[in-house]
Structure 1
Amino acid sequence: MAIHNFLRRNSETDRDFIEAQSEGTIDEDNHDEAGQSEGESNPVQAVGRAASKRRRWEVGDVIKVSGEVAAPAEAPLPARSGEILGSGDYFVRVGLGTPARELSLIFDTGSDLTWTQCLPCDGSCYTQNDTIFDPSHSSSYSNIPCSSSQCSQLSSAGIEQKCSASPDGCTYGIKYGDGSTSTGNLANETLTITQTDVVDNFLFGCGHDNEGLFNGTAGLLGLGRNAISFVQQTSDMFHRIFSYCIPSTASEVGYLTFGGVPASDNIIYTPFSSIPQSPSFYALDLTGISLAGSSLSIPSSVFSSVGVIIDSGTVLTWLPPAAYGPLRDAFRNAMSKYPMAGSFDELDTCYDLSGYGSVVVPKVTLSFGGGVNVDLDASGVVYVVSETQVCLAFATDEDLVDIAILGNVQQKTIEVVYDVGGGRIGFRPASCGGNK
């Protein structure tokens, strides 16, 4: 959610038109877009029954076993496409408060503050699928006073901080790159991640005035690098390790896992780089792009002169014009046998596939520092607009002079492993998919 949040509103488009194959073939097929089953297990409702087995941490605790720092706990969550709620992002279900109220939160590596809509709506509350959280019904909720060091941390995350002598205490105001906003109280609350993983005194935003393209979800789970992020607040619990896999279609289920150490088989790691002016972002050293096995003619200075970030909360990959141009031209050449269609929003390379039962999509490979090459799934190369139209799922903007963004479309089916403490990020292909 750092810069762009493209096409969240297109929830009715049947993205399941794509059946991505490893060889880059798209086969036309019809699927029902999946919603959440009424019989789906509820991790929060079961908390009371599993209370004797659950782990509880307070933010800042150091957990040790026999004098040694404990191995990170592992907390897996199903990750679903926001298309079933009207969003282009991906969400997980967590519990907030005592008793826990289950909420759908977009997981966002491009921002830090976790927040949800709260009653009363003092300004504007958008429509969400879950009942809006009411802090007056939670026995564990408390506002953060202005004198708290937690209040002063907001400015380090680029979030507006205001203070009041009233009981409301510290308030926040955050604005995202797409113009979406949230304003409310900074507070502590109990966060239930799974039946067995509960975090006390979790710092979050209780948003009383929220506007923008959050479409149906209850808010955001901030996974950035700042001290107020979920990753940093639970560092003693999960050791700043998390991974996710975004499925290729809306009817499939991926995962978001905190803690644990993924098996190293087939995972390739590249070190994080840095963007001094934006230290909260996960920056990568993108060194080149290949299409159909051929390296594109992009000067190395194009990527070395801009910051490249990976962001689960941005839909498309946004490239500077000097990188996007060669990719677009090579893609058009490889797809020349298919008739072109008109552009779609920011996507200028689209095709009319009426009458085609299958389509061969050229392989796109991204190269990163350390000699790491990541092949994108076919579903990460094209964006399905309708049953007859697809577009190259990359875009550019003349204003992108100092940053490029690797969005969630390009990350589909790849397990992305964030080893924040180790200063590296890993990729493992073909790690999720199928109706689960």
Structure 2
Amino acid sequence: MANTTTLFALLCFLLLLLLSKTANGDAHILETNTTNRNATRPRPPWPPGIHFHTVQLPSLFPSNTCRPSPSISKDGLESKGAILPVLHLHGPCAQAQQQQQQHKPTADETLRQDESRVKTIQSRYRNAVAGADDVSVMKDSSTTIPAKDGATLGGANYFVTVGVGTPAQQQSLIFDTGSDLTWTQCQPCVRSCYKQQEKIFDPSSSASYRNVSCSSASCSALASATSMFHSIIGILINQVRIKPGCSSSTCVYGIQYGDSSYSVGFYGTEKITLTTSTGGVFNNFFFGCGQNNQGLFRGTAGLLGLGRDKVSFVSQTARKYRKRFSYCLPSTSSDTGFLTFGGGASTTKSVKYTPLSASSAGTSFYGLDITAISVGGQKLPISATVFSTAGGVIDSGAVISRLPPAAYSALRSAFRQQMSSYPLGKPRSILDTCYDFSSYDVVSVPGISFFFAGGVEVEIGAVGILYGFSISQVCLAFKGNDDASEVAVFGNVQQRTMEVVYDGARGRVGFAGGGCN
């Protein structure tokens, strides 16, 4: 009996020892999983019903190789409209086409430029809604338009390539919903041209180029699209100080952006070729032929204006495309997106449309009425008047979305609460809610949705919630405005990978998920 008891006790001891080792082993594995970068971070202990994204942290940062989007079928899209590949100015897809390397701004520089752009948008919008003249003051009386080397067009980092002239000369143009005038650098560059990746457009080699008369109605219409003074302030071209709007008998344009970049030259008409397979050729297109251009436009030839003014590309091609276009911005600078006119991918997808805001009528901006924001699937307690006080716009060139102070405060508070299991990092640049993810490759992030007029909910993609400086400093990609009277801006980080559809003829903007990447 004693032997039996002793044997039983020994077996129990061995069993307890085995269980102890197993438990200790599991604890060690769990500890490794929470400290090793190659491990998967478990979902934070959120209450039931919290909606979240699982984010692979490497997906927030670009690759060194070009990754064309497999979701874009050019043959399938061109049957419904015209499609142009969209590339990021600083990604490997663009660099493969460039003859010279351009300065690649740091993340901090990008956000500083973005701040300049947004301030300009807010000022222009405020003046336009108030009915004031929308002008950019040209301060320097000796040179009229100040040159500022290294200045850029804010965060407008995406470009397409179009044909200009007869025969067509390929030109890469930044596309921008916050601008109206389309322009490209032109020979002979009588004052100044910056370096660009293609040969500078030569109107003397085109059979279809024509100057616009300074006495024409088309010349008079430039003021609303270029923020140009028709006053004693002159524009310096070829060392000659002249009155805006006319040089001899030729119409002159002058446009200056919020960062002091500018383009000055002759206003003309030319043939623009998007694609020949769908009839995307437009004769007598009004554009700027730049003879004095300054600011680092990063190797592109100029700008494609997609605003709402009557001189914009959207308005000039309205007879064919009915003011309908869409784009999908890629998830990182290593990927590709698309810009379509007329039909495009959106015709085959479920698009959620919200009407353009009434307050933006008569402006160049695409205004949106924001009604609410949710974090983790739960709407934030924000009064509707917080959003309606100043209104909102969507912009392809602004990087980080700007929100009314009260709305951002609520968003930040809810986001920080639901991310409390992750270590906070130091604020960076204009962003104040940052995390140190150096121990993880995968994190769980609460979903964020915007609600617009008409009951439209737009869920922000996982790549639109975070902005990464480095793996140890990944920040919430939103910022609060300084004042409640400043218009909210829905920026391009939040638009990534979704198809954004602009339907000007019906006065609405739509959103469809899974546009590219």
2:417 pairs with one of 333, 345, 358: 333
C-alpha distance in structure 2 between counterparts of 1:277 and 1:231, whole Å: 16
Distance change (3 Å), C-alpha of 1:276 and 1:425:
closer
2:269 pairs with one of 161, 170, 188: 188
2:455 corresponding residue in structure 1: 371
1:137 corresponding residue in structure 2: 205
2:514 pairs with one of 414, 430, 434: 430
CA contact (8 A) 2:86 2:338 kept: yes
2:292 match: secondary structure = strand
- 248-257 vs 262-271, which moves further: 262-271
Structure 1 residue 158: Cα displacement: 4.9
2:364 corresponding residue in structure 1: 280
Amino acid corresponding to residue 92 of structure 1 in structure 2: V
- 156-165 vs 184-193, which moves further: 156-165
CA contact (8 A) 1:159 1:172 kept: no
1:155 match: secondary structure = helix
Amino acid corresponding to residue 84 of structure 2 in structure 1: L
Q: What's the RMSD between the two structures over aligned residues?
A: 2.5
1:24 match: secondary structure = strand
CA contact (8 A) 1:33 1:250 kept: no
1:214 match: secondary structure = coil
Distance change (3 Å), C-alpha of 1:222 and 1:400:
farther
Distance change (3 Å), C-alpha of 1:145 and 1:34:
farther
Structure 1 residue 81: Cα displacement: 1.8
C-alpha distance in structure 2 between counterparts of 1:388 and 1:99, whole Å: 51
CA contact (8 A) 2:212 2:269 kept: yes
Distance change (3 Å), C-alpha of 1:278 and 1:322:
farther
Distance change (3 Å), C-alpha of 1:159 and 1:266:
same
CA contact (8 A) 1:126 1:215 kept: no
CA contact (8 A) 1:347 1:391 kept: yes
1:205 corresponding residue in structure 2: 288
Structure ranking higher in strand proportion: 1
After superposition, the C-alpha distances for 1:82-110 in whole angstroms (9 at most, x for unaligned) are 22254852111111112211121111111
1:244 corresponding residue in structure 2: 327
After superposition, the C-alpha distances for 1:187-235 in whole angstroms (9 at most, x for unaligned) are 1111110133211111111222223352222221111111101111001
C-alpha distance in structure 2 between counterparts of 1:412 and 1:90, whole Å: 12
1:78 corresponding residue in structure 2: 85
2:309 pairs with one of 210, 226, 248: 226
C-alpha distance in structure 1 between counterparts of 2:468 and 2:486, whole Å: 29
Amino acid corresponding to residue 230 of structure 1 in structure 2: F
1:314 and 2:382 aligned: no
C-alpha distance in structure 2 between counterparts of 1:372 and 1:75, whole Å: 27
CA contact (8 A) 1:73 1:237 kept: no
C-alpha distance in structure 2 between counterparts of 1:302 and 1:158, whole Å: 32
2:375 pairs with one of 291, 295, 311: 291
TM-score (norm 1): 0.80
2:55 pairs with one of 21, 26, 36: 26
Amino acid corresponding to residue 136 of structure 1 in structure 2: S
C-alpha distance in structure 2 between counterparts of 1:175 and 1:324, whole Å: 31
CA contact (8 A) 1:95 1:192 kept: yes
Distance change (3 Å), C-alpha of 1:341 and 1:208:
farther
Distance change (3 Å), C-alpha of 1:412 and 1:171:
same
Distance change (3 Å), C-alpha of 1:184 and 1:238:
same
1:326 match: secondary structure = helix
Structure 1 residue 176: Cα displacement: 2.3
1:174 pairs with one of 237, 247, 255: 255
Aligned residues: 379
CA contact (8 A) 1:80 1:253 kept: yes
- 260-269 vs 327-336, which moves further: 260-269
Alignment of 1:27-42 (within 5 A): 27-29=56-58, 32-34=63-65
Amino acid corresponding to residue 78 of structure 1 in structure 2: P
1:354 and 2:442 aligned: no
2:503 pairs with one of 385, 400, 419: 419
1:60 corresponding residue in structure 2: none
After superposition, the C-alpha distances for 1:353-406 in whole angstroms (9 at most, x for unaligned) are 212111222111000001000000011111122344221111233156231111
User: Rg bigger for which structure?
Assistant: 2
C-alpha distance in structure 2 between counterparts of 1:31 and 1:403, whole Å: 31
Structure 1 residue 251: Cα displacement: 2.1
Structure 1 residue 350: Cα displacement: 1.8
1:97 corresponding residue in structure 2: 165
1:404 and 2:488 aligned: yes
CA contact (8 A) 1:106 1:313 kept: no
2:245 corresponding residue in structure 1: 163
CA contact (8 A) 1:108 1:224 kept: yes
2:336 corresponding residue in structure 1: 253
Distance change (3 Å), C-alpha of 1:170 and 1:243:
same
1:384 match: secondary structure = strand
- 103-112 vs 125-134, which moves further: 125-134
Amino acid corresponding to residue 439 of structure 2 in structure 1: G
C-alpha distance in structure 2 between counterparts of 1:128 and 1:218, whole Å: 6
Alignment of 1:116-131 (within 5 A): 116-131=184-199
Amino acid corresponding to residue 231 of structure 1 in structure 2: V
Unaligned segments of structure 1, at least 5 residues: 1-21, 38-42, 44-54, 56-71
C-alpha distance in structure 2 between counterparts of 1:413 and 1:376, whole Å: 9
1:150 match: secondary structure = helix
After superposition, the C-alpha distances for 1:164-183 in whole angstroms (9 at most, x for unaligned) are 3425x111122223333222
Amino acid corresponding to residue 346 of structure 1 in structure 2: I
CA contact (8 A) 2:425 2:472 kept: no
- 151-160 vs 406-415, which moves further: 151-160
Unaligned segments of structure 2, at least 5 residues: 1-50, 69-73, 95-103, 106-154, 231-243
